[in-house]
Structure 1
Amino acid sequence: MKRKISLFLMLFFSILAFSQKTVSGKITDEDGVAIPSASVTIEEPGKDAILAYGITNSKGEYKVTFTTAEPNVDLKVKAFNQKPLTRQINNSDQNLNFKLDSEATEIKEVQLKTKMITARGDTISYDLKAFDSKNDRTLADVMRKIPGIEVNTDGTILYQGNAINKFYVNGKDLMEGGYGTINNSLPKDAVQKVEVLENHQPVKILQDKVPSDAAAINIKLKNSVTMTGRGEVGVGLDPLLWNIKLTPMFFGQKSQWVVNYKTNNVGEQVENEGNILAFGSRFEGRRVNASQNDWLNVENANTPNLPVKRYLMNSVHYLSANYLTNIDKKKEWELKANANYTNNSVEREAYSQTDYFATSQFPAFRVTQNTANNFYTNKAKGELIFTKNAKKGFFKNTTSFSQFWNADRAIVERTDAFTARNGYEAIEAPTTSFQNSLSTIVPWKEKMVNVLSFISYQNDKQVLDVSPTSYLNIPGLNPGIYADAVRQNLRLKTFEANHSANIGFSTKGWTFTPEVGLNFKTTNLRSVLTDFQEGRYLGYGVAFDNDLKYTTATPYGSVGVNFKNDSWMLYANFPVNSNNIKAEDPLRNVSKSVNQVTFEPSVFAQYSFASFWKASVNANVNNNFGEVNTAYSGFILTSPNGINAMDAANPIPQNNTKSAGTRLEYRNPLNNIFFNVNYRFSDARRNLISNPTRNAAGYTILSYRELENHSLNNGYSAEVGKYFPKFKTNASISYSNNTSKTDAFLNNDAYTSKNNGQSFGIKFNNTYFSWMSIDYNASITRTMQTNKSAVTQLNSENSRSGFTHNLGAFFYPLENHTIGFSWDQVNTNSEENNYRNAFYDLSYQFTWAKKKIDFELKWMNIANRKVFETYDISSSTISYTRVMLRPSQVMFTVKFNFK
């Protein structure tokens, strides 16, 4: 494999180095005065194809790099009020200066046309009007049609397949990464253009010193002061349905704010809009989405591979508010306050039939299960951020508080190899979380001093009840004969602190950043398992008790190396970590520790050439020593379906991962073409391997044994997209192939599990006809699962294929009248099973153009499909699943802009 990677990289860079030429010089008028903003293009003779282009700076200087096998090329220069110039030049490195003759032209009529896509330096601008259709209303509606940009179902924006690192409106970062609310609710009519800021370093003092390969999005509004927003009010019958969305927003020069209230019971998942989707630069400090340590779980009904609106039985209320203001006259200091609250209730029901592969201990058998769930979510979050982001200094302090009051319920009817049984399961899970992140960069003579500090405290309390005790058939767990219920109590208290300081030296495009720091984390785990019998709880003994203190202290020193010029960008980090881990269990008089020094380098290099091409390579080494969830020594009933049983004799987990990747990217705004190819390889080596023990009823005990094992992953992907202006069509195709090979155990039988997944996708949208617009997405997938073992029963080979497509067609028979039709199709196929699931929606919309108000009548799930059927495979099972869906429903909705 190493030989293959080396050969690939040699070939890769040989191609890059082939015939790269650079032409530079200066453009002046006939009086010798420099001409700024003149365009210089390199083209193949006799062909209408631009190889590369450049724009002159304020001094009239230009530089263009190109690649071609032709002996000669055409160089063309154009500038306002100057006569265009064309010269045929040799395909070689050279310096050429040109003088342009002035050309006065009498213009009788002027017609201004905005280009759809323009590029200047690292900024690519998209004119929103060139891509929208009559049915689009919000920013997200249009962004899904822009070449090179993709909007995922969770709201994440991807540029050339990678997540953005910032989302600005008029240059201000109001949402601090939680941009889903604006993306989904900002009216398209308020937007002038969308800008992609490539290689964006958000910290201004670092912009010429520490490069970035990530892109950002800036939404440029038509007005510098904008009061706008979006609202919807919808109702339906049988049962009573509602869908209300109210999102007023204001964007000014000094302050910005967004208030958002959304509630519905029609299957729209609005509660995740405030999730942090863009994380900026590490120099801004550390921000994470606060989440619960959900160790304990009731048994959950499966969720289908469908748009959420098809199956989500919800009743949600989501309220959020975001505020930004400048607090000084220079507008360098910003205060941001963010808050949100979620109240959500979800019902879910599914039937599953699981066939377990045979092992040396048990023959193949089947378990069927009906599961009905109720999930209750209550959570609140508040955040306060002070920021100064200036060329002469940086400061950012983020304080956040989160509180969860979650509860889950399940009723399970299970039939296994022995008998039929019914179980009632409930969990209560409150969590409190506090975080504070501080980062400051202070210039010191020619150097920069950066101090970072992150503190976090989280308290998780979880209580799982299962009744009756006869429902459980887990090896090693023997509930009392007369016990009414089993209760698993668990408490986690986690404190984390990360502190570091570094100093940056810059010279001739290079920046060196030595850093020292300390990462500290301690977790206290307490758990106990009891029976409820005759009004009192009876413990199971020490085997089911845990009292663990797990501490990690890692002082480290590192050197960061960064370089950037017109063609190259490099950033690397070379840390040496002193890992000190200790796990103390006084109940069993057990104390484990690891004291190990590791070297964990990471390198990224990117080369830009011929104006439109970028090539990059990256590699890193990472060591992980596990967490508290693999270090305790007792038993924990993590689910009514199984127990985690750790062994006090096992050492602390040690995982080493080596990974490398390469990427080739092409984006040509002149011809509206975007293209990228990626390859990734990783090898994870671990000292512990999981060894599930499963009985003939399908219940599992998960334990670990000490044995070196590997998990190899390699994958490649490609995507190419183009916008066709003549046909007003944006189209793209994509392909991915991912293979994993993992060492595994089951019932003490060793085997190797290999999984290969392939996916081919196509999408396009068309607005060519004035009476119709179409959006279409389709994907074909195939998965092959292979198990090989010395134990004959574990040898198996299974495959699964799937087809998914989403069609949205809108027809405009009359002015201000729209008829919409959507079709979702999800098919699953195997050698013996074929499942086809189709869903159809129909809508009619009338627009009151003068008031910009839409009245929509929509009929969803016309065929009234009530269940979704699918087939899946894993390393040890084959399963059939049937999930309950939302019934056919009719909604009437009024949609409007606030201004």
Structure 2
Amino acid sequence: MKHTLLLLTFFFSALFYGQSTLKGKVTDEDGSGVGSASVTVEEPGKDAIIAYALTNSKGEYTLTFTSEQSQVDVKVKAFNHRSTLKVVSNSSQNVDFTIQTEATEIKEVKLKTRLITKRGDTIAYDLNEFDSKSDRTLSDVLKKIPGIEVNSSGAILYQGEPINKFYVNGKDLMEGGYGTVVNALPKDAVQKMEVMENHQPIKSLQDKIPSENAAINIKLKNKVTMTGRGEVGVGMDPLLWNVKLTPMFFGQKNQWVLNYKANNSGESVENERNILAFGSRFEGTRRQAAQRSWLGVDRAQVPNVPEKRYLLNNVHYLSANLLTSPFKDKEWELKVNASYSNNSIERSSFRETIYEPSEYFPSGASARTDLSNDFYAQSAKGEVILTKNAKKGFFKNTTTWNGFWNDDRGMGRIVDSRTGTISMDQKLKSPSGMFQNSLSTIIPFKDKMVNVMSYISHQKDRQNLSAEYENFQDFEDYFGQNFSRLDQQLELQTTNINHSASVGFNVKRWTLSPEVGLNMSLNEMNSLLEGDGVALGEDFRNDMRWNELNPYTQLGINYKGGGLNMNITLPMNFYGITYKDQIRNTSQDISRSVFEPSFWGSYDFTSFWKLWAFANVNYNFGDFGSLYSGNILSSPQNIGNNDNLLPETRSTTIAPRLEYRNPLNNLFFNLRYAQSSVKRNLIARTTIFSSGANISELEYFDNTTRSSNQSAEIGKYFPKFKTNLSTTVSNRDNNGYSLLVNQSTGESNLIETETNGQSWSLKFNNSYFSWMSVDYSLSMNWNKNKNLFYGNEIKTSGWSHNLAAYFYPIENHTIGFFWDEGTTSQLDESFRNSFYDLSYQFSWAKKKMDFEVKWLNIAGTKVYEQISYNTSLLSTTRSSMQIRPSQVLFTVKFNFK
């Protein structure tokens, strides 16, 4: 850690050394300011721009640069004005320009705009320059833009970090759940996309409290737009359907999006409801509602390939989002969001696990496992949000209700080399409900800003797990007898209450925000385990209370300057936790006051370079579920018992990164480093059976795990060749501890493992040729796994690639070829999986309709195979997972207006 801090200190010093800032004004011969003039800094004799800026409407500019030269060239260019150059010393100073009017001769009528432009903290992308003939929606184009990444969950990343807001015409209709719009907004409706770096969404804080995240704003061609996207598809082998209907309206006062999607063709559209952007902490608390899954059936594995390859689903998803200004004061906005989904999924897999001879299994062992699942899930959500976001104040109240009704089934068959054939029939019913209300307001008081926040939530979960066994003997010694059926009943209730108040004081570019707050969490858990219909003893029952009281005080120090932004949070937190077991009449409590500082900062030291740094210290004294004395059957093959001391965890993280984004030559890259350590006082003591079953208990043992990660990413767009190329390399190191029971002696062995891994990925998009466009991605990984207890080391590797090639032999006709492939390797053994698709599409350009026929999984591949290694258990697992069959789908696609 000392070496890292020294390196960062040296890095910061090197960056600040030799830095100069130029300010000034560009005027014409009449003394009027010239807006949108470009001011560039170049080193003498070199045709390379080291910094640039655009003047505002008053002709003013500010730019910062770093150069070793004693003098630099400063050039000013503006439309219908003569270019001007000045040679100035390399120092901070004011440099004004007066430029003469001169008609700019346009040699051709055709005007060509920039692909990417930057003004201040906003970078604008002309999407028309990045799309290809096969693209139809916003998401199709976003994946091809340098500096932008769209991951598998639908979240948009800018320079590797998630965005905090997604706007359409400056309005946040979707409140973070923007996947629906990204996937269904026609690209033809979009004028440009803007990335707003360091975006603070609360207007009254924009000049006071900086933000570490960027936001995206989609500017449509028309201020009032009725648009959207629809698809209707049918297929066979078996009977298939795919329906997507997403009409949208974006006006100056009202916006709405309606969405109905249903399919059994392998697309999990219900994920579009997920919150992907959370905005500013001053907007209040928003949490992604989810069931607490303390119990679960054994789940079949899924392969590392695109979901459409293996997902056997039947889903119906309906959502509606509305934004309106209900009052004459247009700064008030009312948003109403609602959604419902009904989904069923089938899944199956087979795996064979072979254990090397060790103290766990002196003569070795093996197990072959067949698993199949049926998952049935229903969920509903309703949300009402009232907001006022003005320069002179802020108000936001969010009320949310979520309901979940899940029914999971599982059937397992295990051939154990030690105990023979085992079968398990599993069922889990788990209804849940959650209510949340969040209120945040910022009130200006003289030269201060007063912020009050309140959050209340209540969640109730019921989970009933039943398992019927045949020839399952691994738990016989633990129970004292062998049961043919186990039923685990569990009920959870949680109420969270969080209140805080802060005051912001402004001193020039500094904002000081002292804050006081109180967080409370009240939790109850009741559980009962039955064997063959008879309730077991107190060792298998729980009636537990876990209550937390966390008053805190903290000082927030924020600085927002021209190039430097930073936030330092200095909290003193008091943790009061009380655990009470009402069956055994035992209790534990803890009262600790800890200092948990955090820091993040960014520094723009030229127009193109930015340095980030993040660091924090965090303590954790356990969460609801960290401690309970009665045994719980968490899955048909796992019994857990957390009867021990209250846990204590201390984690530290430091993560600097360096960014370069140059819209002049369409080049973006970033370098990242992250180092963290986690110190714990408890460890799980686990008894492993060859069938895969295990019994886990907590034991006191101080242990510290460490991890570090280094990565570099570079992306460039080549406009001459209409090509976007990006590549990423990374290295990661981490260690881990496990306490495993020697079944021969009953003694425990402390196993330490170390993992070192490298990865490399490549993305390539090209639409240079009028008759073809290509999207291609490749990822490779190499891992070295060490077991220090046995002195064992093994190397594994894998790679995968995805190709989508489109050919346009005749106007309005498109032929598509798709190739996905994945490989995993260990020693001399390797599994390779290939998938191919073909499509033909006719476009009715006048009506903006597409007619597509697609043949998926042409080779008829039935399973995906892979190999993996467990470093702690010295076991090799070969797996095969069910794949969707070969199928043909006919789809009609169209725009709403």
TM-score, structure 2 normalization: 0.97
Is residue 296 from structure 1 mapped to residue 295 from structure 2 by the alignment? yes
1:268-312 superposed Cα distances (whole Å, 9 cap, x missing partner): 111101100000000001111110111111111111111000000
Which of the numbers 649, 657, 662 marks the counterpart of 1:668?
662
Give 1:696 shift. 4.5
Give 1:71 shift. 4.0
Amino acid at match of 2:78: A
Asked if 2 retains the 8 angstrom alpha-carbon contact of 1:164 and 1:216, the reply is yes
CA RMSD of aligned residues (A): 1.5
Give 1:474 shift. 2.1
Give 1:879 shift. 1.2
Quote the Cα distance in structure 1 between the aligned partners of 2:158 and 2:487. Answer: 48
Amino acid at match of 2:228: G
Aligned to 1:487: 487
Aligned to 2:773: 773
1:189-233 superposed Cα distances (whole Å, 9 cap, x missing partner): 110001101110001111011100200010100001111110001
Which of the numbers 866, 869, 882 marks the counterpart of 2:865?
869
SS in 2 for 1:891: strand
Amino acid at match of 1:853: M
Asked if 2 retains the 8 angstrom alpha-carbon contact of 1:527 and 1:547, the reply is yes
> How do residues 247-646 of structure 1 correspond to structure 2 at under 5 angstroms?
247-363=246-362, 364-416=364-416, 417-468=418-469, 470-471=471-472, 473-474=474-475, 476-478=477-479, 484-532=484-532, 537-646=533-642
Aligned to 2:745: none
Aligned to 2:196: 197
Give 1:26 shift. 2.4
Q: Per the alignment, do residues 318 and 560 of structure 1 end up closer, same or farther by CA in structure 2, a change over 3 Å counting?
A: same
Aligned to 1:157: 156
Is residue 690 from structure 1 mapped to residue 684 from structure 2 by the alignment? yes
Aligned to 2:876: 878
Give 1:540 shift. 1.3
Asked if 2 retains the 8 angstrom alpha-carbon contact of 1:479 and 1:486, the reply is no
SS in 1 for 2:625: helix
Give 1:722 shift. 0.6
Asked if 2 retains the 8 angstrom alpha-carbon contact of 1:472 and 1:640, the reply is no
Aligned to 1:888: 886
Asked if 1 retains the 8 angstrom alpha-carbon contact of 2:611 and 2:659, the reply is yes
1:440-465 superposed Cα distances (whole Å, 9 cap, x missing partner): 11111111111111111111101111
Quote the Cα distance in structure 2 between the aligned partners of 1:596 and 1:475. Answer: 42
Quote the Cα distance in structure 2 between the aligned partners of 1:576 and 1:888. Answer: 60
Q: Per the alignment, do residues 3 and 413 of structure 1 end up closer, same or farther by CA in structure 2, a change over 3 Å counting?
A: same
Aligned to 1:214: 213
SS in 2 for 1:141: helix
Asked if 2 retains the 8 angstrom alpha-carbon contact of 1:480 and 1:531, the reply is no
> How do residues 809-848 of structure 1 correspond to structure 2 at under 5 angstroms?
809-848=805-844
1:687-720 superposed Cα distances (whole Å, 9 cap, x missing partner): 1111111235432111111111111111111101
Q: Per the alignment, do residues 829 and 33 of structure 1 end up closer, same or farther by CA in structure 2, a change over 3 Å counting?
A: same
Quote the Cα distance in structure 1 between the aligned partners of 2:70 and 2:517. Answer: 55
Quote the Cα distance in structure 2 between the aligned partners of 1:845 and 1:155. Answer: 25
Give 1:751 shift. 1.9
Aligned to 2:744: none
Quote the Cα distance in structure 1 between the aligned partners of 2:15 and 2:25. Answer: 27
Structure 1: 5+ residue stretches without partners:
none
Give 1:543 shift. 0.5
Asked if 2 retains the 8 angstrom alpha-carbon contact of 1:472 and 1:641, the reply is no
SS in 2 for 1:210: coil
SS in 2 for 1:337: strand
Asked if 1 retains the 8 angstrom alpha-carbon contact of 2:497 and 2:521, the reply is yes
Aligned to 1:656: 650
SS in 2 for 1:236: strand
SS in 1 for 2:272: coil
Structure 2: 5+ residue stretches without partners:
742-747
Q: Per the alignment, do residues 544 and 114 of structure 1 end up closer, same or farther by CA in structure 2, a change over 3 Å counting?
A: same
Amino acid at match of 1:395: F
Amino acid at match of 2:889: M
Quote the Cα distance in structure 1 between the aligned partners of 2:457 and 2:480. Answer: 38
Which has the larger displacement, 592-601 or 19-28?
19-28
Quote the Cα distance in structure 2 between the aligned partners of 1:728 and 1:63. Answer: 33
Quote the Cα distance in structure 1 between the aligned partners of 2:668 and 2:72. Answer: 24
Asked if 2 retains the 8 angstrom alpha-carbon contact of 1:799 and 1:873, the reply is no
Is residue 783 from structure 1 mapped to residue 783 from structure 2 by the alignment? yes
Give 1:18 shift. 3.5
Aligned to 1:55: 54
Asked if 2 retains the 8 angstrom alpha-carbon contact of 1:479 and 1:531, the reply is no
Quote the Cα distance in structure 2 between the aligned partners of 1:691 and 1:367. Answer: 22
Q: Per the alignment, do residues 772 and 172 of structure 1 end up closer, same or farther by CA in structure 2, a change over 3 Å counting?
A: same
Amino acid at match of 1:490: L
Q: Per the alignment, do residues 108 and 882 of structure 1 end up closer, same or farther by CA in structure 2, a change over 3 Å counting?
A: closer
1:770-799 superposed Cα distances (whole Å, 9 cap, x missing partner): 00000010011112221112xxxx442122
Aligned length: 887
Asked if 2 retains the 8 angstrom alpha-carbon contact of 1:52 and 1:66, the reply is yes
Give 1:29 shift. 1.9
Q: Per the alignment, do residues 59 and 851 of structure 1 end up closer, same or farther by CA in structure 2, a change over 3 Å counting?
A: closer
Quote the Cα distance in structure 2 between the aligned partners of 1:444 and 1:356. Answer: 69
SS in 1 for 2:607: coil
Quote the Cα distance in structure 2 between the aligned partners of 1:152 and 1:252. Answer: 29
Quote the Cα distance in structure 1 between the aligned partners of 2:796 and 2:391. Answer: 55
Give 1:628 shift. 2.5
Which has the larger displacement, 6-15 or 251-260?
6-15
Aligned to 1:19: 18
1:742-773 superposed Cα distances (whole Å, 9 cap, x missing partner): 23211110121112221101111011100000
Asked if 1 retains the 8 angstrom alpha-carbon contact of 2:436 and 2:455, the reply is yes
Give 1:475 shift. 5.6
SS in 2 for 1:588: coil
Quote the Cα distance in structure 1 between the aligned partners of 2:738 and 2:15. Answer: 41
Which of the numbers 806, 813, 819 marks the counterpart of 2:802?
806
Quote the Cα distance in structure 2 between the aligned partners of 1:435 and 1:639. Answer: 30
Amino acid at match of 1:654: E
Amino acid at match of 1:204: K
Is residue 226 from structure 1 mapped to residue 220 from structure 2 by the alignment? no
Amino acid at match of 1:682: S
SS in 2 for 1:862: coil
Asked if 2 retains the 8 angstrom alpha-carbon contact of 1:40 and 1:55, the reply is yes
Which has the larger displacement, 61-70 or 619-628?
61-70
Asked if 1 retains the 8 angstrom alpha-carbon contact of 2:82 and 2:102, the reply is yes
Quote the Cα distance in structure 1 between the aligned partners of 2:689 and 2:760. Answer: 39
Quote the Cα distance in structure 2 between the aligned partners of 1:460 and 1:587. Answer: 21
Quote the Cα distance in structure 2 between the aligned partners of 1:300 and 1:108. Answer: 67
Which has the larger displacement, 62-71 or 598-607?
62-71
Give 1:466 shift. 0.7
> How do residues 676-755 of structure 1 correspond to structure 2 at under 5 angstroms?
676-747=670-741, 748-755=748-755
Which of the numbers 837, 853, 857 marks the counterpart of 1:857?
853
1:547-572 superposed Cα distances (whole Å, 9 cap, x missing partner): 11001100011110000110110111
Which has the larger displacement, 415-424 or 888-897?
415-424
Asked if 1 retains the 8 angstrom alpha-carbon contact of 2:422 and 2:469, the reply is no
Asked if 1 retains the 8 angstrom alpha-carbon contact of 2:422 and 2:470, the reply is no
Quote the Cα distance in structure 2 between the aligned partners of 1:898 and 1:453. Answer: 41
TM-score, structure 1 normalization: 0.97
Quote the Cα distance in structure 2 between the aligned partners of 1:40 and 1:204. Answer: 29
SS in 2 for 1:172: coil
Quote the Cα distance in structure 2 between the aligned partners of 1:627 and 1:723. Answer: 47
